[in-house]
Structure 1
Amino acid sequence: MTEMLGPAYRVVQFLLLTLGCMSLFPRSSAGGEVALRERVVPIEWKRFDRAIQANEDYHQCAQILLNSAHHNLIWAPGGAERIEKEWRDLTGRQAHDVVRPGCSASFGLAVVLRTGVFDEQAVGVSEEEALARTVRLIKAVVAAHDGVGWKYPWQSAFWAAYVCHGAWMLWDDLDDATQEQVATIVEFEANRFITPGYRVPYWNGRGGDTKAEENAWNTTILQLACAMMPGHPNVPRWKEVCSRLMISAYACQEDMQCDVVLDNRPVKDWLDGYNARDDGTVVNHGFIHPDYMCCVIFSVQSYLTQSLAGQPVPEAADFRAASVYRVFVTHNWPSPPYKEPGGTIYVPDQAEVYFPEGTDWFAGMISMYYLMDCCADALDWDSDLPRPASHWMRLRAAEMLKRQARHADRRHFAPGEFRGYPGREQQFIRLLSGAFLFKWLDAHGAISPKKSWLDQP
C-alpha cells in the first residue's frame, strides 16, 4: 500500500492534486454563484414503495445489521463529540482511527434509517433519536474535512464516499449548510482523479504492494459523484476515470491483451499495467492477502450506488470480481509450502477462511467475506461453482449472530479480537449495511442492469 512511501510523500502529492482540483472549476463571484447542493439529485425513495417477499437470508442479514446499529448508536454521540473537539489537531493515524469510523457508521446507520428495516426495540432508541445521532455524526465528520481530506489524503476519497453516501440517503434531514459541505466534499474528492497530475497506479509484478485495493476504493467517490450530481459538467470525466480504476484494480497481466469491450473500449486499451497475479490473487503487505482480494467489492458497490440513483451500472463495475470469488472457492493451496492445513481459502462447512500465508489482520474477520457472498448470490458469480455462495453466506450469518449474542450491546468483536483497529465495529456496520442493501435492492427488483455508462449524458 502507498503508506510505505511515507506521510510526507502523500501530503505533497495531495497538495499538488488539490491545486489542480481548485483550477477545474473557478467559482463565480459573490452573488452569482449557484450553490453546489442544488446540483444534487436526491434519491427518489418512492421507487421502492412496494411490498417485497423477504426470505430467511434477508431477515438474518437485517437482524445482524440491527444488532450492529444497536452498538453503533450507543457509540455515535461520543464518536461525534470527539471529532467535534479534536479534529483540528488530528493527523495521520489519529485521523484514521477517529474520523474513518465516523464515516463508516454514518453510512451504516443511514441504511438502517432509510430502508424500512429500523426497529426501535432492536436498536434501543427511537427512530427520531437514531436520526438525530446519525445527523450529528455526519455533520461532525464533514465539518472536519475542511478541504484537506482529514489530513489523510491517501484514503480520504474512500472515507468521503461513505459519509457522503450516508448524507445523500438522509438528504432531506440535513440543513442547507451541511448539504453544501457534503456536495463540496464529493466534488473536491472526485476532481482529484481528473487533474493532470493524477496517474492510475499499478503493481506490475514488482514488490509486495498491490495497488488493487486503493484503485477499487477510489472508485467509490466517483460512483457517488455521478449518482448524486448527474448534471455536473465533470460527470463524463468522472465516469471515464472510474471505469479505468475499476478495470485496473484486479487486472492480470493477460488482460493487457484482452479485446473484450467494456464501457465502449477494449479492456487492453484501458490498461497501462496490472495489479493481480496470473492466478487472480493479490499480494499486499508482502504476502498473498485474501482480505485485499475482497476489496474488489468496492468497485462492485456501483451496483448499490447507481441502482439507488436509477442509473445503469458501468460494465467495468465487476471486472474480475467473479474470478476472485472463484479463486476463493476452488484454488487449492498445498501445505507445504503454504501454511497448514492447506486447501481452499473458502473452507467447506466453515465460516472462517484459510489464509495460505497467514494474515496480519484478524483471521476471524468474516464480515467482508459475507459481503462477497451476498454479492455472488445476487449477481450469480456462483452459477458454475461446486458450492453456491449461499452455503458460506449462511454459515457466516449464523456465526456473526452467535458472536453478537455474547454482548449486551450487540457488538460483534470480543476483547482481544481485531484489536489493531479501534474502528472495527464501525467497519463492521459499513460492511453489513452494504450486504443488506444488496438484498434490499434485489428484493425490490431494483438492481440496475449493466451497460456502458459512457453512453449516458
Structure 2
Amino acid sequence: MEFTPAAGVWKVAPIRWENAKENEMSRRIYNILLRWLPFANEQFEKWDEKPNSGHFFGGNFWYCSDTAASSFIFAVLAKLGDYDRQATDISRETLKQKAIMGLRYAGFTHDTGPSDCVRVKGINPYCSEKKWGGEGDNFFMASQNGRSIASLAHAAWLLWDDLDDETRILVQNMVASYADRWSDEEPRNGTYYDTQCEENAWTSAGIAAGVALFPDHPHQSAWKKGFIEWSISSVTTYKDRLADPSGLIDTPAGNRIKTVTFHPDFTTENHAFVHPSYLCAGTNLRAFHATLSLMGGQEVLDSAVHNNVNLYDQTVKIWAQFDGLAVPVQGQDWWYNRQHERQLTHAILNVLHNHSDAARFERSALDSIEKIQLSNSRGCLLEEKGEECVINLAHAQFAKDLEPGSALDLTKSYLLHVFGGPGVEPHDPTEMISRLSGVYEYPYGNTIVHRTKESFSCFSWRNNVMALSLPKKGLWTITPLYASFTGTVQFEQSLGTPGLTNESIIRDVMKQRIYPFEDGFGAVVTIGRGNRELLQNVAFVALPNGNSVYAEQFHAVKACKVRELKTGMVGIRNENYSAMPDLAPGQRTLYFPGDSETFKGFYGDQPNLVKNYPEYPYVNIDNEIGYLIYGSAGITYVNKHVYPKWKGVEDILIMNDGGAVEFHENETLKPFIVVALPNQTHEETALSHQNVSLLSDQAEHALLLEIDGYLAYIHFESGQRTVSGKKLLKDGSVPLYRGNNRITSGHYAWSDSIEGFSSGYLPEVYRLESSEMDSLNLDINILSDRITILNVGTSTANFQLINTKTRRGMNLSIEEGRYAIH
C-alpha cells in the first residue's frame, strides 16, 4: 500500500472522556506515575533545530522510544487523573507543553519528516544523528517502530485539541506511513529460537493507531484488516492453523491465521530460550489496541485478545511467584525487576478477561513496584543510579534508558483501569496459591515445574539446561543462573562447535527421562560437554514437601583437560532496597558449621570478593534456604560488585568448585549431591544434616537419600537393576517404603528393582517404632496394597507399626520364624 503524505488535517475520532472513571486500581498506579514524574522531567531537553520541540532521556534511544513513551505518559498525566501539583512541583500546563514538544521532535526526526532533521548526537551509533521509523531497515528493526507509533498516537489523541496543524500533520504522517507499510504484509511465522509473537504484536500495535484515530481515512478498511491479521497471528499454536475455517491452504480468501508462534504447551522461545518477557509480549503489546479502543468507546476486537487466557492459565500464572513476577524457568538475560511488565499482563487479564487470579497477582506486583520506587530517592522505577548499570554496552543500553518503558507499562495499565474499570474481585491469596500448587510439565518447552505453597522447583533440559529450587521469597533470594546447579565446565582447548560446546551455557542434552509424579517429579539427563569427550549425568528430584535433590556424575569418554569446573552453582540475590528490608536487606549471611560470614550487596565501587571454603557438609543462605552437600571438591562464594551486564545485585554460591581437572580416558568421578531445603533457618539445616541419610555408596551409579519421610532414588545406568542401601539406626523409629525393608541389629537396609536411567522418590508408607530396635531382625516387604513382615531373629519381635497416611497404629508381636501380613 502506497503512503501519501497528508496535505491537511484529518478528522480524528473523539475520545469518550466521560468513560474515564477513577477507581482504586487506577489511583494506585497514577500515584506511582506521579512519584516518577519529577525524575522524568529532569530528563527533558529542548531541541533547537525546530521551534517548540524537545526530547526525553537523551533523545537518541532505539526507535525513538525514549521520547515516544515519555510524551505518552506526560500527556496522560496532563489530561487525566487527580493530578497533585504539590507532589510534583510541575504544572499540568508544563506537562502538556513538554508532551507536545516530544511529539514534534519525534515527528520532525521521523522518516516522514524533513530530510535535514535527525535525532541528537549520542553514544548509540545506531541512532545518533539519524532518523527513525524503519526506512531501509530489515523487518525486525523496521516493524519494531510500531510500539513508538502507538505511544505517540496515544499522546497526540489525548492532546489533539491542543496541537497546531503542523504537529497534527506530523503525527498523521508517522501513523499513516506505518499502517500503510505493514497492513498488506504477511505476519511472520516462528516459535523456536526467536518467536515471531513479539514482532507480530508490535506491528499490530502500530497499525492499531491508524485504525483508532482516523476512521475516515481512505485506507481504514485495509488497516483494520491488516491489524486483525497481525494481532490474531501473535499468539498461535498449530491448533489455530487447524481450526481456521480455511484449513491449511496458505493464502485463501478469509484465512486469517497463517502463523504458529507458540508450542502446543503455550511455551515459546526468544533469545534462544523460554523467556517470560517474550512469552507475554503478544498479550502486552496488543493492549495498545485495547487502550485505544476503550478511550474511543469502541469494542476491543477478539483478535487482540486471542489466546490470552490459554497462555496465562498454562504458563504465566503457574510460574508467578508471590509478587506476580513470573519465574524465568530457563534463566533471564534482562534485569530481574520486571514487575512493571508483568503487572501489565495481570491488568490485561483482570480488566479484559475478568480473571480473579490476575486481579490478585496485579495487586501483588504493585506492592513490589511501590516499594522499589520508595527505596529510590529520585522516584525512579528501576535503579537509583541507573546510568551506571549496564544492560547492553554494545547497544548503549543502561538501566536508566529502560525507565520510560517501565513507566509505559504502568501507564497502559492505568488507562485500562480508568476507561475499563477496576476489574474483578481478586481471589484470596492463600486459596489461590494452594490451588496453583502441583506439577506442570511442558514437553515442548522442555521444562517441568513443581510448586508448593511456599516453594518452587523446576528443571529444564533444553536451551539452558538448569534447575531451580526457590524458597517462599522466590527470586528475591535465589536468581536463575543459566547453569543453575548444572554449572560450567571450561576446557583448556574447546574442540566442539562454537555455541554448542555446553561450557558456560548448556544448550542441549544427549538423552533425557522425565518422570512426573502427582506431587513432585524426577528428571535425569546426560549432558555432553565440549566435543562430547566429557559426559555429565545429572538428576534432579523435586519432593512433595518442596525440598529437592540434585546429583551429578562426570565420565570422561576421552582424555581431556578442564581449565575450570564449577557445578552446584546457585545465584544469590543481594539487593538493598530500604523500603523492603524483608526482601532486600543489602546483605546476605552464609552460615556453615560453627561459623558464618556476611556479604554486603552493592553495585560497583569495589572489585568482586571471592571467598573459598573447605568441603563443608552444609551451608545456609540468610536463614532462607539450606543446602546439604555430599562429594564436594570445595565451596566458593563470589560477592559480586562488578557486572559487565547488569540484571540486579547477585552473588554466586559454588558448592562444587573443582578447579582445574585432568580427566583420563574412561575415568568416572564420584557423584556430587546437593539437597536443597527451602525456608530453613541455619539451625534447621544443621539438624537436617544429622537426620538426612545417604544410604548408598557414593561410588555407585545408583544413589539413595532418605529425607523427611521420602526416599529419593537416582539411577544413572541403563537397564533395570536392583538398588540397595543401608544406614545405622539412631533411635527407636524407622520409616518404611515400598519395596524390601530390612532391620538387622540396629541397621536399616532398603532394596528394590529400579528402572534404568531414572530418578524419583518413594513416600514413607509406614513407620516402625520399638524400644527394642537394636535386637530386631525383620524382613519387611511392602507392595501397594500389602505389607508382609517376617521375623528372622531368634526371639519374639515387639513393635508398633503406624500407617503414615492414616496415622493409625497397631501393636505387633511376632515370634521367631513367623510372619504377619496386613
CA contact (8 A) 2:72 2:155 kept: yes
Whole-angstrom CA distance in 2 between matches of 1:127 and 1:100? 22
**Structure 2 residue 210 is the aligned partner of structure 1 residue 225:** yes
Cα 1:277–1:268 shift into 2, 3 Å: farther
CA contact (8 A) 2:79 2:158 kept: yes
Amino acid at match of 1:432: L
Q: How do 1:148-167 residues align onto structure 2 when only pairs under 5 Å count?
A: 149-151=132-134, 153-167=142-156
- Give the corresponding residue for 1:453: none
Where structure 2 has 5 or more consecutive residues not aligned to the other structure, the ranges are: 54-58, 113-130, 135-140, 247-251, 424-822
- Give the corresponding residue for 1:61: 29
Whole-angstrom CA distance in 2 between matches of 1:84 and 1:96? 19
- Give the corresponding residue for 1:146: 111
CA contact (8 A) 2:195 2:268 kept: yes
- Give the corresponding residue for 2:19: 48
Q: C-alpha root-mean-square deviation of aligned residues, in Å?
A: 3.0
RCO (CA 8 Å, sep 6+): is it higher in 1 or 2?
1
Shift of 1:267: 13
CA contact (8 A) 2:63 2:144 kept: no
- Give the corresponding residue for 1:371: 344
CA contact (8 A) 1:106 1:137 kept: yes
Q: How do 1:29-428 residues align onto structure 2 when only pairs under 5 Å count?
A: 34-35=7-8, 37-45=9-17, 47-48=18-19, 52=21, 54-55=23-24, 57-75=25-43, 77-78=44-45, 81=47, 95-97=60-62, 99-147=64-112, 149-151=132-134, 153-195=142-184, 198-203=185-190, 205=191, 207-259=192-244, 269-296=255-282, 297-329=284-316, 344-347=318-321, 349-380=322-353, 382=355, 388-414=357-383, 415=385, 419-420=391-392, 421-422=397-398, 423-428=401-406
Shift of 1:270: 1.2
Cα 1:96–1:129 shift into 2, 3 Å: closer
- Give the corresponding residue for 2:485: none
Amino acid at match of 1:371: L
Whole-angstrom CA distance in 1 between matches of 2:271 and 2:349? 26
Shift of 1:407: 2.4
**Structure 2 residue 17 is the aligned partner of structure 1 residue 21:** no
- Give the corresponding residue for 1:436: 414
CA contact (8 A) 1:251 1:275 kept: yes
Whole-angstrom CA distance in 2 between matches of 1:81 and 1:271? 44
Shift of 1:260: 7.6
CA contact (8 A) 1:66 1:123 kept: yes
Shift of 1:429: 1.5
Cα 1:376–1:135 shift into 2, 3 Å: same
Whole-angstrom CA distance in 1 between matches of 2:63 and 2:35? 22
- Give the corresponding residue for 1:335: none
Bigger fraction of residues in strand: 2
CA contact (8 A) 2:22 2:418 kept: no
Amino acid at match of 1:370: Q
Identity %: 22
Moved more, 136-145 or 111-120: 111-120
Alignment: residue pair count: 380
Cα 1:144–1:64 shift into 2, 3 Å: same
Shift of 1:83: 9.3
Whole-angstrom CA distance in 2 between matches of 1:194 and 1:218? 9
Moved more, 136-145 or 306-315: 306-315
Shift of 1:281: 1.6
Whole-angstrom CA distance in 2 between matches of 1:411 and 1:288? 29
Shift of 1:53: 6.3
Cα 1:184–1:190 shift into 2, 3 Å: same
Cα 1:312–1:407 shift into 2, 3 Å: same
Moved over 4 A (4+): 82-85
TM-score normalised to structure 1 length = 0.76
TM-score normalised to structure 2 length = 0.43
Whole-angstrom CA distance in 1 between matches of 2:334 and 2:308? 22
Shift of 1:418: 7.2
- Give the corresponding residue for 2:137: none
Which whole-Å deviations, capped at 9, do the CAs of 1:195-253 have from their partners, x for residues lacking one?
4xx322111x4x40111001001111221111111011111111111111111111001
Where structure 1 has 5 or more consecutive residues not aligned to the other structure, the ranges are: 1-19, 28-32, 88-93, 331-343, 446-457
Which whole-Å deviations, capped at 9, do the CAs of 1:158-183 have from their partners, x for residues lacking one?
21121122111111111110111101
Amino acid at match of 1:389: A
CA contact (8 A) 2:205 2:285 kept: yes
Cα 1:48–1:418 shift into 2, 3 Å: farther
Whole-angstrom CA distance in 2 between matches of 1:313 and 1:390? 19
Cα 1:72–1:98 shift into 2, 3 Å: farther
Whole-angstrom CA distance in 2 between matches of 1:83 and 1:393? 43
Larger Rg: 2
Cα 1:247–1:351 shift into 2, 3 Å: closer
Amino acid at match of 2:408: R
Whole-angstrom CA distance in 2 between matches of 1:368 and 1:267? 37
- Give the corresponding residue for 2:628: none
